[in-house]
Structure 1
Amino acid sequence: MGNHHSSSLDAHHHHSRSTAKLLGCTSADAFEIHLDVPHDHDHESTTAASDHDEKRSFDPPPLYAYSASAFPEYQLTWILDALRRSDFSRLDRSGETYVDYMGGSLYPESLIRSKLSSACANEAREAVLSFFRAPPGYTVVFTANATGALKLVGESFPFSEPVATCLAILHRNRPKNRHASPSLFALTGQSNISNSKNSLSLIKYAASQGFHTVLDAAAVAPTSVFSLSETPVDAMAISFYKMFDFLAKLERPWFAGGTVDVVQAPGNIVTMTSEMHERFEDGTINYLNLPAITDGLRFLSAYLPFLPLRLSCLMHHLLGSLTALQHDTTGTPIVRILSRTPLRRLRAVGEQSDTGSVVSLIFLFPSGEMVPNTFIEYAAARSSISLRTGCMCNPGGAASILGLRDAMAALPSDVTLAAFEKHMGHELGVVRISLGLASDFRDVYRVVRFAETIGCKGARDALWEQWLGSKAGEAM
């Protein structure tokens, strides 16, 4: 149940425009939406035509009239249209549809510059604290990734005995009094595969029961407003690979270069450095890249308040369109949505969604059997669509939404993925579509048209033969 990313930036990129003409079994008129999609003859364009393409990316976005009528609140997020034209116009110039924001966000073009400063590390730390409205007492530690941040907390927490931190047994295992053994409660803010958001009230409740708290905000922070002043936690891992933590309470069982003040050699005396963040950053951090954090957070602060409303519009349109699609031969559904869907539609800037902006699904043959994810990945890349397939580094979440819990319980200790998939009779994993900062109705439209292609027998059969041919070539 590994992870795979479809991207048009591969050996098949030069085919993407010809396959785009095959999208859908019906004409664009049937959708009452018109989208300008490049065709093969664009390769014969002159320099003037190229200049026209450049200008076209700054024209009013296609589908805007549709979005204004069906989702009038979408117009309140016009600032994100300006952002798309100024900082992400490369998507429209290249015809790329990027829907893998949960895997990694795209860089804004305005941030690609160099800035060297002896104070850049401190500026980056201050920017992180300011972005999350952290009250005094918080410290920022830079780690390789969010996993490393959580690992640091788990390994450094002063457990004196095994302590369960499962949600289901929170009440039963709560500390009896302030003198009880330290207990840690960990919560995932949002699932990267099921699209569920956990209530942050659980953090407050756990703290009231004497637990120390850690929040994995890697999935929720990029698209939701979060304040440490309103919801204080002892530690938080965030998606751009930094961590806030209760360092004074942690007792790291080892030290490395730069984390100590004095080391007795030979001997056993070790005095840790007085700077809290330096105690947990091994060696020299990559300070040359830290200005990107400072500038990036300032950049995101201007747009993040508008993002939940826009994503709400896009998610409702995407989910409604996908669930309505049917195979042209049988009238059966083309996709099955597995992730949680939003219960309410946002109407104003400042409102927060009850879910994320992730759609996990599987594609179905007319018979109802699952279409291999590797085929979907191939077909998406041929249509210049970047999405993700697999278990999303979340095998527990994938097993849950795919209904594999009983099968997982029966696995032998020496199981392999190939053997597991053979036993199940199909590939394991999901197709994940995730929206983000630069997403607009064009991206959703292209994803829906791609899905319709899978439901069109002629187009699907043609892509299937090409896919089989590519697999045979790899085998040779």
Structure 2
Amino acid sequence: RPQSNREHVRSGSFPSPDAESIISKYLEPCGPGNPHSHSPSSRLTHDTVEQVRSRVLQHFNTTSKDYSVIFTSGCTAALKLVAETFRWRPQTEGEAGSHLCYLTDSHTSVVGMRGLTSTLGVAALPVSSQELKTRAKDGIQEEDVICQTPHLFCYPAQSNFSGRKYPLSHVEGIRARRLYPACDLQGRWFVLLDAASYVTCSSLNLQDCPADFIPISFYKIFGFPTGLGALLVRNDAAGILRKTYFGGGTAAAYLSGENYYVPAENISDRFEDGTVSFLDIIALNHGFESLYRITGNMHNIQQHTFGLARYTYTLLSSLCHGNGRPVAQIYAEGQFESPITQGAILNFNLLDSSGQIVGYSQVDRMASLFNIHLRTGCFCNTGACQAFLGITDQQMKRNLQAGHVCGDGVDLVDGQPTGSVRVSFGYMSTFEDCQKFLSFVAECFVMKPVTVNRARLQELKAARESSDRPDELPPVNGFIKERQTGVEKSSSKASQQEFGHVGPSHGKTLTNIYVYPVKSCAAFEVHDWPVGPLGLLYDRGWMVVNGNGVCLSQKRESRLCLIRPQVHLPSNKLFLQASGMDTISVPLEDDVSFHTSSQMCHSKVCGDRVETFDCGDEAAAWLSLFLGQPCRLIRQRPGLTREMKKRNQTGDDQLITAASSFLSLVNEAQYLMISRASVELIQNLMSNRFECEMFAIKRFRANLVIAGAEPFEEDNWSHLIIGNTRFTVAGPCGRCQMIGIDQDTGTRTKEPLVTLSAHRSGKVTFGVYLTHQAPEDFVSVLSVGSVVQMESHDH
């Protein structure tokens, strides 16, 4: 383990103590026991858990006199608990029922409460932030006191989308019925304050903000333990929660033969079903101790993280392309004026030099090259996403019907964004992190020379002055000056004239054929090769999985490229070779005795579940020794295939439609084809031209390489014939950081992805997918030197 907490802070991670260290510190000498028992060890565990409850309440400046802590599996479970146990009053003919009201800028887990309440006849009422500002003139009327219909209003203390902080005074405003919708609906109002995002970097004082229910998640505060949250319940409001199910520890008494049940008197005991995760709960002591030792208090965290966010916001919002157009569209209510109104979250989309939005998946792919971890999409907050991005309900439904779902990589539909990019800062973040992120944006997405809107420099000065560590803020002029040079974005035509070899539009030929028998391992180059029903015969028929059965790719284990599989058709064997290792083999064709003794297993490829069988202990031992971790070689089960999904021709990361071709263990298509002219163009544009042409071709891991076309001419093809085999173009291949791995050494570089992104204005596509459909009795062989005939979309 790292030697000190300071090392954890510098590395951007936080130590997760093992169970042994926690037990030895808090539970000596007898160790842990189930807190529901009365043995000495159990009583010690129980008392320690109760002490942690007090520690949690102390963190929020309250005590057990006013609040109770109900431990849950997370913030979502806490919200679900309120939805399930709140004493909802259904609407009847003579009386209005309860209302579940929530701010539209709410997390999915809050909005999801209506799924349960709707079945109970409870009306759901979404409220925008603008409506919430509407105030009643007189507040509660005398005749309203009689009505005791319970209503629940939910709102986030801080938006997890934009970082906007909503006034904590809304708690009293709703309960006193001074704010809409409480001012329009008679009854008793309760407030659920979603504090999960807020408390990560801000102090929540429940003496000043006495919300009835506060769900939180501890890993968002400390970084550990995962799967542990809590619902803080104001004791005066606990009576509105009613438990129907009872489990271990929640019952004071019950009868098995009669419908008789008495709940536990203690509020926490009443709602914690079964044995709580007491070791994780005890670990919270370590979290609180470390947090305060490293940072001092939550106020320091708030000031520090706000300074980082405001600095990044000021520079990013002022960055411009060489033509003066802005680089980013930022989604925020204000301009990061104060930590009282804005959290340490920056949400945005990047724009190219023509003002078009760069898809968030492209930004995410490039960020991974710089070891920058972003979050993209709608962040489980559809309401805020729609409001900021201008996505209508009809568009959301159309996108779903076309195939886009939350969490996928479809970032643009008809040129309009489906989500955005979010940067979040924590107490371990530094100004160097900000600088690294801004440098990444300038290097990869800004048309040179980098310029700045000088009017915003005064705002940066204000950010320096408000920061608790202004000496760490790097100078803006230096930041800009260092980034005046770099890869220039240019049109394909201009680049071809200056750098690239422009081949003739006729005389196209197939120059290389590559088979990849084992997924993510090295290529096996051939001169002639049969075409099978799933693509090139034996292409991606095997894959390597780790000890947990998860597919290994070069993104996780770059040394896979050093394994050289070779298919030897005459001997019916697949040979595995690597430097310093003896060569081993596995059978190619179905061997009944081998399959009978092999273990069947299930794996996933690109989200698709595939049935496979294990190739034996010899191959597993060989791979484990070479890769230095437990591994197994598995093969797709014969006769079972995956149905292919084909990308639209309009560009990468567009919506997908079903096709009738079938796949082996490839990611997306049967074949990948690239053009030598396109490779040469990108290689000539690269700032460091240390690689020969063949090395560059290997990085793109194509099955088929052609010559004679103009650079990127293949993007416009719809069909082509190679020899006597006809192929359909299934769309462009979206590239990731894997093309940055040198296929001869396994080392990682930022090229050629950076140059490819710059040249293609943020679209990281290279090469096209091909499909081939043929009758069962069709026999075809592809040969190097075959003529390539193509048909474009224009024809």
**Fold shared per TM-score above 0.5:** yes
Q: Which residue of 2 aligns with 1:124?
A: 52
The alignment yields a C-alpha RMSD, in angstroms, of 3.3
The reply on whether 1:369 has 2:352 as its aligned counterpart is no
1:331 aligns with 2:324: yes
| Structure 1 contact 127–298 (Cα < 8 Å) conserved | no
Match of 2:171 among 197, 200, 203: 203
Distance in 2 (alpha carbons) for counterparts of 1:152 and 1:112: 28
Shift of 1:277: 0.9
The residue aligned with 1:239 is 217
Aligned partner of 1:399 in structure 2 is 386
User: Which residue identity lines up with residue 85 of structure 2 in the other structure?
Assistant: S
Higher helix content, 1 or 2:
1
Counterpart contact for 2:399–2:413, Cα < 8 Å: no
Specify the alignment match of 1:279 in structure 2. Answer: 270
1:96-107 alignment, distance < 5 Å: 106-107=13-14
Task: Indicate how the Cα distance of structure 1 residues 253 and 412 shifts in structure 2: closer, same or farther if over 3 A, else same.
Answer: farther
How far off its partner does 1:107 sit? Answer: 2.0
Secondary structure in 2 matching 1:439? coil
Aligned equivalent of 1:270, options 258, 261, 264: 261
The partner residue of 1:177 within 126, 133, 145 is: 145
Residue 200 of structure 2 aligns with an amino acid whose one-letter code is P
- Determine the C-alpha separation between the residues in 2 that align with 1:178 and 1:417: 49
**Residue 440 (structure 2) aligns with:** 450
Query: Is 1:189 aligned with 2:486?
Result: no
Task: Say if 1:265 and 1:109 are closer, same or farther in 2 by CA, change over 3 A.
Answer: closer
The partner residue of 2:307 within 296, 310, 313 is 313
Q: Match of 1:429, as an amino acid?
A: G
Partner deviation per Cα, 1:47-68 (whole Å, 9 max, x = no partner): xxxxxxx99xxxxxxxxxxxxx
**Structure 2 residue identity aligned to 1:248:** G
Are the structure 2 counterparts of residues 171 and 113 from structure 1 closer, same or farther at C-alpha, using a change threshold of 3 Å? farther
Task: Note the C-alpha offset of 1:267.
Answer: 2.2
SS in 2 for 1:248: helix
Residue aligning to 2:77: 148
TM-score (norm 1): 0.70
Partners of 1:326 and 1:413 lie apart in 2 by 34
| Preserved contact between residue 253 and residue 263 of structure 2 (Cα < 8 Å) | yes
Partner deviation per Cα, 1:422-474 (whole Å, 9 max, x = no partner): 7543451110011111112101101110110211445854346894359979x
Give the letter for the 2:22 counterpart.
K
- Do structure 1's residue 462 and structure 2's residue 752 form an aligned pair? no
* Cα distance change of structure 1 residues 200 and 445 upon mapping to structure 2, 3 Å threshold: same
Pick one of 240, 258, 261 that aligns with 2:252. Answer: 261
Distance of aligned partners of 1:229 and 1:429 in 2 relative to their CA distance in 1, 3 Å threshold: same
Secondary structure of the structure 2 residue equivalent to 1:313: helix
What's the offset of the Cα at 1:239?
2.9
Q: Deviations over 1:387-433 (max 9, x none)?
A: 11111111111111111135447649856416997754345111001
* Counterpart residue number, 1:219: 197
Distance 1:471 1:289, change over 3 A: farther
Give 2:428's aligned residue: 438
| 1:258 Cα deviation from its structure 2 partner | 2.6
* SS at 1:431 equivalent: strand
- The AA in structure 1 aligned to 2:315 is S
Could you say which structure has the greater relative contact order, defined with CA pairs below 8 angstroms and 6 or more residues apart?
A: 1
Cα deviation 1:155-179 (Å, max 9, x = unaligned): 2111112314255378789792154
Partner of residue 89, structure 1: 10
| One-letter amino acid of the structure 1 residue matched with residue 368 of structure 2 | A
Q: Is the 8 A contact 1:358 1:434 kept in 2?
A: yes
Secondary structure (helix, strand or coil) at the match of 2:99 reads: coil
Distance in 2, matches of 1:308 and 1:421, equals 32
Cα distance in structure 1, aligned partners of 2:263 and 2:283: 29
Offset, 1:385: 0.5
CA distances 1:268-287 after superposition (whole Å, capped 9, x unpaired): 11111222212211211111
Provide, for residues 207-226 of structure 1, a one-character-per-residue CA deviation record: whole Å limited to 9, x for no partner.
22341221100111111111
Aligned position for 1:133: 61
Q: Partner of 2:22: helix, strand, or coil?
A: coil
Query: Structure 1 residue 303 and structure 2 residue 297: aligned?
Result: yes
For the 8 Å contact 1:88–1:109, the answer to whether it is kept is no
Q: CA–CA distance in 1 between the matches of 2:20 and 2:299? A: 25
- Pair 1:141–1:424, CA change in 2 (3 A): farther
Distance in 1, matches of 2:72 and 2:86, equals: 17
For 2:638, the equivalent position in structure 1 comes to: none
TM-score w.r.t. structure 2 length?
0.43
Give 2:99's match in structure 1, choosing from 144, 158, 163: 163
Q: Which residue of 1 is the match for residue 377 of structure 2?
A: 390
Bigger-Rg structure (1/2): 2
Give the aligned partner of residue 26 of structure 1: none
Match 1:359 to one of 346, 366, 370 = 346
Whether the 8 Å contact between 2:17 and 2:283 is mirrored in structure 1 is no
Query: 2:360 touches 2:411 (CA, 8 Å); kept in 1?
Result: no
What is residue 27 of structure 1 aligned with on the other side? none
Query: Cα gap change, 1:200/1:408 in structure 2, threshold over 3 Å: closer, same or farther?
Result: farther
CA change 1:343–1:390 in 2 (3 A) is closer
Aligned twin of 1:114: 21
Q: 1:305 to 1:84 in 2, by over 3 A?
A: farther
Letter in 2 for 1:120: T
Q: Distance in 2 between matches of 1:226 and 1:396?
A: 25
Identity of paired residues, percent? 24
The one-letter amino acid of 2:207's match is S
Conserved? CA contact 1:342–1:353, under 8 Å: no
Shift of 1:227: 0.8
- 1:341 is displaced (CA, Å) by 3.9
> Aligned with 1:365: secondary structure?
coil
Distance 1:355 1:433, change over 3 A: same
Report if the CA contact (8 A) 1:362-1:371 is conserved.
yes
- Alignment CA distance shift 1:226-1:332 (3 Å): same
Say which of 277, 285, 289 aligns to 1:294.
285
Task: Tell whether the 8 Å contact from 2:140 to 2:176 is kept in structure 1 after alignment.
Answer: no
